[in-house]
Structures are given as structure tokens and as C-alpha cells.
Structure 1
């Protein structure tokens, strides 16, 4: 072989090696890509943390959180009844650990929730005789609570659910204690107090069944009224508590567009897919709902049949295709828990069931749909 042919041959072999290595790296990248990496240029991928994860005792699940998620929200420990169980007695230990975890791992940190009728302490609404307090007293208590909590984490918690679940499915106002004492103004006051406590935080209204047409109309009307009064609402949280068939993708999309038209951010805030049968219709995420255990509504104690697993995969894929389609409108998609064992749906609205609503199984292994979701992100 002459010198010229030898150089051509060596160049050819070099190109083959480079091409082969390139294919191998690309293949490895595809296999090892995590959810947060796949969606890094689209929106945050978040999850809710429980006490074991916040305190560091659940090390196996923490590894999943660090690998796949870049946004966190506390499932319970920042709700008013837990963070201020008695007036003036704030318990910040777990909340401090939660925020520190997010900071140490350079995550987007979301606070949940400042004003919510459920899991609120009774003292919030009553005087020493057990009677409703005056509007002035409740207003001051709201201000004290919001100012203290948001002020403590000013510049550290990036966004807050300021008000949670104030509108009914029919579009009317929920007749909560907040509404009973203050009327519609309790929402305006809550946003004003939060804005004063941290002007740079992103402030959300959050609710379930946000795809329901009447509820959508009610929320849009509420936000428009606030905007007319000069109250800035930065985002709408659509709790993604869905089942295999409800709601339709079409209604979900209509709501994303309707809320986005308000010139606010949209987030999917509490996503899970309930695979178990129901006998009570759609109750959304109404935590007060409770039904008696029946074996027929807990049919998958030994795992999902193939047909249900397929439906589960298709449901998640259709939702993530929708979210990716509207990535310019969505700030965050957060699943409500890390693995199936820890999901609240094992105990609500019926205790003692075995549900499979999340992206990771009871052994913290990613379900097959995770790889498919990552492929959706790579394609769009």
C-alpha cells in the first residue's frame, strides 16, 4: 500500500471510529436521560415531598427526586394547620428543611398553601367563646399568617399557592369560613398580603377540576375581577388529579388556553392518574369526600392487568403531549408524589386500596411510560 492510499485508509478508519463512538454516546444519552433533563427547555418537572423525604430518612426515593425532578412542593407541612397549629405558635422545622433541600439541589421551590379552608386550624376563625370572629380579626390573622410564612422564605420560595380551592365545580364560590366571614374579598386580601411579603414571588390560585366548563368560567371571572381591582395574580394551578377517562383532553386544553388568555402562567400542580374504579362519580380532589371500602373497588391488589396498564400509559402520554404542545404557556408540571406506595390515592376517598397513579412504582423504578414521556420531549 503506497503512502497516499495508507493515509486515505487511516482517515477512513478514524471516521468510522468517531461515528461509532458518536452513536454510542447518543444511544447512552437517550437511555440515561432523566425527566428534568428532557424537559429542561420546556417547563419545570416537579414532585411533592412527604416528611420522610424532607427529613432525609427515605434515601431511596430521594435519589429518584434528585435524578428526575427540578421543582419541589411540600405535600402537607406548609399548610396552615401544620405550620401554625396554635395562634402565634409557628412550627418551621420541617418547612425549613424542605426549603434547604431545594436550595442544596438548586431546585425551583413552590409553597403550598397559604389560605385553604381545609387543614386550617379552628382558632383561625373563632374567638374564645367559639363564635366566628369579626371580619377585622380574620383579616388581621390572615395578614399575620401570610406575612410571617412568606416573609420567612422571601427570595427563597419562588412561587406560592396563595389561595386554594375557593370555587365550586358549578362556578360558584365555596361557602368556606373565609367566605362566610369576609366574602369574596378574602382572595383579594390574601394576594395583597402575599405580594407585600415578597414582591418577587410568583403568586398562584390553585384548584381541582379546573377543566370543568362551569368551574373554568367561575375561575376566569374571579381572576378578571381581581385584575380589575388592581390585584396581580401571576398564575393558575390546575390540579392534575385525573382518572383514565375523565376529563377529556379537549376540555383540559380549553382550560389551559382560557387561563393563559388571562395573561398568567399556567401550571399542572398535583398530577396523578387514578386507575381504580369508582361508584360515586367525579369528586375531583375534595378531601372531605369519604366512601366505604368495597372489595370490588379495590381489584388490583396484585398489580395492574395489561389492559389497565396500557390505558394508564396512554393517558399519561396524551397529557404530556398536550403539555408539550403548550409549553410556551406552562411553567411547571408537578406530580403529586414520587412513587405509587406513597400516593394519597391509596387512602382517598376510600381507605385501604392499592392504587398505581404515579410515574414510579413501589420499588422506585420508573414505569415504561417514563421513557415514552422522555421521547415526547425529545421530539418536540
Structure 2
């Protein structure tokens, strides 16, 4: 009798343990499936991140694990820009770009190419002859064609969309007087889109720029894209670089731009997203990469971590913008962060070198910030 009771107790313990274990297994599976950003935004828009050369060369496995778990789209932060791809005329270096593409294909990522034509990080030879003088319009046109056909053609069918032209319009809506503009005028944008379409007719083609919530830039970009469309040039999307601060830009102005760009009949993408918590050297600063400001301790106040009130501001700011993106998810095809964790971010060194910033959703140790769960819960309500 006693022996049977013992057996019954043991059996009950085993059954209870199995039920608990099953519940834990189900709960763990639920968390794995439902607690990722990419799962939260499935059916709404792609959620992406920029990969640095360290990521591409697999030098930071914990970050790669975060990338695989939370994101379904990738863009190369620097390694497809012209200065790195073709440092000397006719000498292409595809080693790192090839690895980037291979990673994307192996992990079923939506791959974005960045960027074909940009005034910054372009090699000097692109614009000069053997004497150091500016080349003719014909020579620059041919160099653009050769570069775009070679790069886009190499990854035809693999890259889903290209940032064809980057940052051609200034904040006041006027044209940036880059070497491309000085030699070819406004036609350099038209030519770039033509050449990219020739190289891969199936790839989506985008214009990408910063400060896209500014009224002046909004008007300038709309005018430029309308002009291209009137000439029969296909533009599939506009990338709004999301280099944000805690106070600027105003969400209302950002929304006006989403609506204005969508009215052109193109998709809108939020690209290069990060929110800096650090003081800006001046109000409403854009993202002109050549800008540098001397280091001041007052501009680097959070070297030991964020105060609670600043962390709360950061969380609320991200939630407000993601609510905006979700409200307009029918117009937005992709939201891409400029990095994976805080340690990756270019904001630690721009516009002031040596600062400690916290602009992304994952901490330097790759743990998610609490706002990640809040964003996921927000998405579930749409």
C-alpha cells in the first residue's frame, strides 16, 4: 500500500513536470516567434539594419545573432560606395561586397545596395583627367555608366533595390554643387537612374537624402522627382534618412514629407534610422558627413550611461515615430536602422569625435533596450 502510494506520487510529479515543461516549451517557442522586430512588422514593412565591414567579415558574432533574429533586410554601411568598390579606374574590389551579398542570400534577407552616385566617398579620379583638371561631360557620363553597369550588373537579381543617387539636394531645396552637378548639371541624376535601370531592369531604384522633413528640401526633392517622371525616368522610391534627435525634427513635419513623397506614386522608406540623445552643436543640424565640431565635454555628457529621464525621452521618441510609421504603413516599404547596436553607430564619432551615444535599439552588449518590447507591442495593435 505504501509502495503504491509512493509510485502514485512519483507518477504525479512526472506528469506535473511534463505539463510544466510543455508549458515552458510552448512559452519559449512563443517568445522566439513573437518577440522579434521582423515578426512584429511582418505584412507591414521590412525592418532592416546596416552592416559594417566588421559584421560582413563576421568579426562580431553576437551582433550577427541579433541581426538574424530581429531583421529581414540589410544594407552595406560603406562597402558598396564608389571609393571602396572602384578606388582606381577600372580596378574593382568586390571582396567585401560579395560577402555581404552571400550573407544576405544565405539568410533570406531583403538586400539593398547603397549607393551608386554620391558626392562624398567618391574617388577623386572619377572627376579628373591625368593633369588633375575636370573631365568633360562625355567622360564623366561614360565613367558613371561603366561604374553603375559593372556594380549593378554583378548583383543583378540579388539586390532588390538600389540607392541610385544620394544627397543631391540641399536643405533649402536647391541643388548641391557637387562635381557631378558642376560637370553634368541636373542630368547626372537622370543618367544615373537610366544606367541603373539598364543594368538591372527588375531592381527597384531609389533617391535617398537626409533632413527630408525640412520644408525646403521636401519641395526640392518633389520637384526633382516630378521632373524625372515627366522625362519618363522610373523612380520607385524615396529614402528618408532617419538621423533624428530627441527634439528635431518635428513629427508633424516628418509626416508631411511622407505624404508628399507618397503622392508622387513611389514607395517611401525610412533609411539610416537612429536617434541621438546627445546635445547638437547647433539646432536642426542635418547629416552632412563633412561637418566636424571640436570636442567639448558639455557635448558628451553621458559617458557612464543615460539618466532615467533621458532614457524615457528616448523611448517615447522612438515609440512616437514608430506609431507614425505604422499609421502610414501602406505607404512605407522599409524601415532600416543605421547599425545594429550602440557601439556600431557612426553617431559616436559625428559630428563630434570621441562621444558616447545611444542611438539604436540594442545596447553595446547586444541586449535589447526595453523600448524594443514596447515597439513590438505597439505593432501588435495595428
Alpha-carbon distance in 1 for matches of 2:305, 2:268: 34
Q: Cα deviations across residues 312-351 of structure 1 (Å, max 9, x unaligned)?
A: 0000000000101111111100000000011000000110
Residue 272 of structure 2 corresponds to 270
Alpha-carbon distance in 2 for matches of 1:222, 1:22: 57
1:46–1:70 CA contact under 8 A, matched in 2: yes
Alignment pair present for 1:190 and 2:196: no
Alpha-carbon distance in 2 for matches of 1:337, 1:195: 28
Residue 179 of structure 1 corresponds to 181
Alpha-carbon distance in 1 for matches of 2:272, 2:281: 23
Residue 325 of structure 2 corresponds to 323
TM score, norm. by length of structure 1? 0.93
Residue 141 of structure 1 corresponds to 143
Residue 351 of structure 1 corresponds to 353
Residue correspondences, number: 363
Alpha-carbon distance in 2 for matches of 1:23, 1:257: 45
Alignment pair present for 1:123 and 2:125: yes
Residue 160 of structure 1 corresponds to 162
Correspondence 1:1-380 to 2 at 5 A: 25=26, 29=30, 33-380=35-382
Alpha-carbon distance in 1 for matches of 2:214, 2:31: 37
1:48–1:337 CA contact under 8 A, matched in 2: yes
Q: Cα deviations across residues 179-210 of structure 1 (Å, max 9, x unaligned)?
A: 00000000000000000000000000000000
Residue 13 of structure 1 corresponds to none
Q: Cα deviations across residues 102-146 of structure 1 (Å, max 9, x unaligned)?
A: 000001000000000000000000001100000000000000000
Alpha-carbon distance in 1 for matches of 2:28, 2:93: 48
Alpha-carbon distance in 1 for matches of 2:25, 2:328: 32
Alpha-carbon distance in 1 for matches of 2:44, 2:177: 38
Alpha-carbon distance in 1 for matches of 2:215, 2:23: 50
Instruction: Give the C-alpha shift of residue 30 in structure 1.
Output: 5.2
Alpha-carbon distance in 2 for matches of 1:130, 1:318: 50
Alpha-carbon distance in 2 for matches of 1:279, 1:138: 37
Alpha-carbon distance in 2 for matches of 1:121, 1:24: 54
Instruction: Give the C-alpha shift of residue 280 in structure 1.
Output: 2.1
Alpha-carbon distance in 1 for matches of 2:327, 2:358: 26
SS at the partner of 1:239? strand
Instruction: Give the C-alpha shift of residue 69 in structure 1.
Output: 0.4
1:77–1:95 CA contact under 8 A, matched in 2: yes
Gaps of 5+ in 2: 1-17
Instruction: Give the C-alpha shift of residue 279 in structure 1.
Output: 2.5
1:283–1:289 CA contact under 8 A, matched in 2: no
The alignment yields a C-alpha RMSD, in angstroms, of: 1.7
Residue 8 of structure 2 corresponds to none
Alpha-carbon distance in 2 for matches of 1:316, 1:68: 17
Alpha-carbon distance in 2 for matches of 1:327, 1:121: 38
SS at the partner of 2:325? helix
Alpha-carbon distance in 1 for matches of 2:194, 2:29: 49
Gaps of 5+ in 1: 1-16
Instruction: Give the C-alpha shift of residue 43 in structure 1.
Output: 0.4
Q: Cα deviations across residues 64-94 of structure 1 (Å, max 9, x unaligned)?
A: 0000000000000000000000000000000
